[in-house]
Amino acid sequence: MIKIVMPMKRRRGMSVEEFREYYENHHRLIGEKYLSGYASKYLRRFTNPTPDREGNLTDPEFDVFLEIWYPDMETMQSCSEKLSEPEANKEIYTDEEKLFDTNTKNMRSYILDEFESDI
């Protein structure tokens, strides 16, 4: 299993509610369109403000952690090729500009190695 995690920040000026509503009702559908047949899971883990040491609520550094699970590296590479096709690439990136802070420091991805403890 190959797991990719992408922490992402919402576009400046967009409220948390607007961000989540747009993501779940529009951008998610674009993701499903292109990930279908490749990914085994497509998860969005939205963050919530948490209290700092003084008890003040602070916005998290990222608004969502996107997870995409692939059965193997070959399938992930095939999906990456599909996402790089001009039509897919244009649709995805055009919509991302409406939703995310596309500054490169806020658009990262990581392939995870996962270890689980029996507790």
pLDDT number for residue 6: 95
Judged by phi (left if over 0) then psi (alpha if -120 to 50, else beta), residue 53 lies in alpha
Contact 60, 49 (CB under 8 A): yes
pLDDT at 104 exceeding the cut of 70:
no
pLDDT at 114 exceeding the cut of 90:
no
- Which pLDDT tens digit goes with each residue over 6-23? 999 999 999 999 999 999
Q: Pick the residue with more confidence: 59 or 3?
A: 3
| Percent of the chain predicted with pLDDT > 70 | 98
CA distance 29 to 50: 29
